[in-house]
């Protein structure tokens, strides 16, 4: 990147090295937000830190919001370190927790605290600890902020130097919140929680900077319940303003696809950016996914290429074990991949880095 965005420009940068996703958003006026976190190979630091610092941004003061879209391993690596660094950022998390996340964040962390242990069970517990410590320390901060659909997470009015900005959540819905609460009730009763997938709680965001808007789909899927998932987003009233940049939901999977995302939430010929997900035999997006997306988008970008299948073949027993331990498995991102799309009164700028690429529609 040769230049930084101007004060009146919306910029969306998506990192997706093959396993992991991180979005860095310019909110105009030199203010930034980060959604989720992933790390480079051999590093423990969030890609957002290195990227912003290479652009001359002071992470401690210029990052105003850190949004954790959901607590899936591919979206939270390096997150606690980022939260520790970005002292002025309010951390925003889905108001709907899965039971396992709730246990990690509040129960195990409390038990560890009672035992005087400094280390925490996981990224989620560490993030909550950092935020809690700040509330009593010299730099008091609010948060974590609970996110529900239609809640505004950041707003700045227009002034002489800067455009207006509005960062609004489109999910999780009230319906998702009540399902999550019911799950916690089952846990309290000592019953097994009903199946509630990690992606169900995902936070979809709508960012508007001046006249330009982006839709950031996290890993939200469509499902069948019209009060939840993308059906819940599409039912929002009032509807949101159509966006020109789309971070495609759930790594381009068909389960995150709905025709009305394109017709109702996006302008015609929007720029769409996909991050791959590769773990064991699971590989997204598939070839058909890319065909479908390139037909729907104005321009389609993939943050890193699909790995050839033969490199990922393991003996079946190993594969089975990998699937069983998938939540804890250490998948190593192997390629850098970044796509940046910038929009403002001066036009549109697009840039790819590393092995990121544009996917062209099939001829004819
Ligand atoms: Zn994901």
Q: Tell how far the Cα of 354 is from the centroid of ligand 1, in angstroms.
A: 20
Q: Which of 80, 34, 83 is nearest to 55 (CA)?
A: 34
The verdict on residue 364 lying in a domain is: no
Q: How far apart are CA 196 and CA 158, in angstroms?
A: 41
**Exposed/middle/buried for residue 307 (C-beta within 10 Å: 0-12, 13-18, 19+):** middle
Q: How far apart are CA 326 and CA 303, in angstroms?
A: 22
Contact assessment for residue 173 and residue 184, using Cβ atoms and an 8 Å cutoff: no
Contact assessment for residue 321 and residue 285, using Cβ atoms and an 8 Å cutoff: no
Per-residue confidence (pLDDT) for residue 132, from 0 to 100:
84
Q: Tell how far the Cα of 51 is from the centroid of ligand 1, in angstroms.
A: 20
The verdict on residue 133 lying in a domain is: yes
pLDDT at 121 over 80: no
pLDDT at 118 over 50: no
- CA distance readout (Å), 241 to 8, 168, 213, 264, 359: 19, 11, 8, 9, 26
Q: Which of 228, 217, 203, 206 is nearest to 253 (CA)?
A: 217
Angle 205-127-132 from CA coordinates, rounded to 5°? 110
The verdict on residue 4 lying in a domain is: no
Partners of 39 in beta bridges: 46
For the ranges 59-68, 128-137, 277-286, the lowest mean pLDDT is seen at 128-137
pLDDT at 138 over 90: no
Count: domains in the chain: 1
The verdict on residue 3 lying in a domain is: no
pLDDT band at 124; cut points 50, 70, 90 = confident
Work out the average pLDDT over 19-25. Answer: 95
Q: Tell how far the Cα of 204 is from the centroid of ligand 1, in angstroms.
A: 13
* List of residues 6+ apart from 281 with CB closer than 8 A: 312, 319, 323
Contact assessment for residue 222 and residue 122, using Cβ atoms and an 8 Å cutoff: no
Q: How far apart are CA 192 and CA 182, in angstroms?
A: 11
- Chain centroid to CA 196: how far? 19
* List of residues 6+ apart from 324 with CB closer than 8 A: none
What DSSP state is assigned to residue 194?
P
- Quote the percentage of the chain above a pLDDT of 70: 84
- Predicted confidence (pLDDT) per residue in 239-298, tens digit: 899 999 999 999 999 999 999 999 999 999 999 999 999 888 889 999 999 999 999 999
Characterize the bridge pairing of strands 212-216 and 152-156: unpaired
Per-residue confidence (pLDDT) for residue 196, from 0 to 100:
76
Q: How far apart are CA 8 and CA 162, in angstroms?
A: 6
Per-residue confidence (pLDDT) for residue 325, from 0 to 100:
47
Please tell me which residue, 269 or 2, carries the higher pLDDT value. Answer: 269
Contact assessment for residue 28 and residue 162, using Cβ atoms and an 8 Å cutoff: yes
Q: Tell how far the Cα of 71 is from the centroid of ligand 1, in angstroms.
A: 9
pLDDT band at 307; cut points 50, 70, 90 = low
Q: Tell how far the Cα of 279 is from the centroid of ligand 1, in angstroms.
A: 11
The verdict on residue 262 lying in a domain is: yes
What CATH number is associated with residue 24?
A: 3.60.15
Per-residue confidence (pLDDT) for residue 163, from 0 to 100:
96
Q: Tell how far the Cα of 364 is from the centroid of ligand 1, in angstroms.
A: 32
The verdict on residue 189 lying in a domain is: yes
- Predicted confidence (pLDDT) per residue in 146-205, tens digit: 999 999 999 999 999 899 999 999 999 999 999 988 888 888 888 887 777 778 899 999
Per-residue confidence (pLDDT) for residue 99, from 0 to 100:
76
Per-residue confidence (pLDDT) for residue 321, from 0 to 100:
53
Q: Tell how far the Cα of 231 is from the centroid of ligand 1, in angstroms.
A: 19
The verdict on residue 67 lying in a domain is: yes
The domain in which residue 83 lies consists of 10-359
The verdict on residue 173 lying in a domain is: yes
pLDDT band at 333; cut points 50, 70, 90 = very low
SS3 212: strand
Work out the average pLDDT over 94-98. Answer: 87
Our separate counts of H helices and E strands in the chain read 12, 18
Per-residue confidence (pLDDT) for residue 312, from 0 to 100:
43
Please tell me which residue, 321 or 8, carries the higher pLDDT value. Answer: 8
């Amino acid at each position: 990147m040769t230049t930084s965005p101007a004060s009146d420009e919306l910029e969306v940068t998506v990192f997706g090295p093959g396993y992991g996703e991180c979005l860095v958003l310019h909110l105009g006026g030199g203010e930034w937000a980060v959604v989720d976190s992933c790390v480079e190979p051999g590093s423990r630091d969030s890609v957002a830190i290195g990227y912003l610092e290479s652009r001359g941004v002071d992470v401690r003061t210029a990052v105003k919001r850190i949004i954790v879209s959901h607590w899936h391993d591919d979206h939270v690596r390096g997150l606690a370190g980022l939260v520790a660094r970005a002292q002025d950022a309010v951390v925003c998390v889905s108001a709907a927790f899965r039971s396992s996340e709730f246990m990690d964040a509040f129960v195990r962390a409390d038990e560890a605290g009672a035992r005087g242990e400094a280390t925490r069970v996981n990224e989620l517990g560490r993030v909550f600890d950092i935020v809690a410590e700040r509330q009593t320390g010299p730099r008091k901060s609010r948060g974590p902020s609970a996110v529900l659909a239609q809640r505004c997470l950041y707003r700045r009015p227009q002034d002489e130097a800067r455009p207006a900005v509005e960062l609004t959540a489109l999910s999780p819905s009230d319906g998702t919140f009540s399902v999550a609460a019911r799950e916690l009730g089952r846990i309290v009763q000592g019953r097994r929680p009903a199946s509630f997938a990690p992606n169900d709680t995902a936070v979809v965001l709508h960012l508007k900077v001046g006249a330009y808007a982006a839709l950031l789909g996290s890993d939200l899927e469509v499902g069948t319940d019209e009060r939840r998932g993308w059906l819940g987003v599409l039912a929002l009233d009032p509807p949101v303003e159509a966006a020109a940049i789309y971070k495609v939901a759930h790594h381009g999977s068909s389960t995150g696809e709905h025709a009305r995302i394109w017709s109702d939430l996006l302008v015609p010929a929007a720029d769409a950016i996909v991050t791959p997900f590769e773990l064991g035999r699971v590989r997204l997006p598939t070839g058909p996914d890319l065909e479908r997306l390139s037909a729907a988008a104005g321009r389609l970008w993939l943050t890193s290429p699909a790995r050839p299948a033969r490199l990922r073949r393991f003996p079946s027993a190993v594969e089975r074990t990998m699937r069983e331990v998938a939540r804890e498995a250490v998948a190593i991102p192997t390629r850098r991949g970044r796509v940046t799309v910038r929009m403002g009164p001066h036009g549109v700028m697009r840039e790819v880095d590393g092995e990121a690429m544009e996917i062209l529609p099939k001829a004819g």
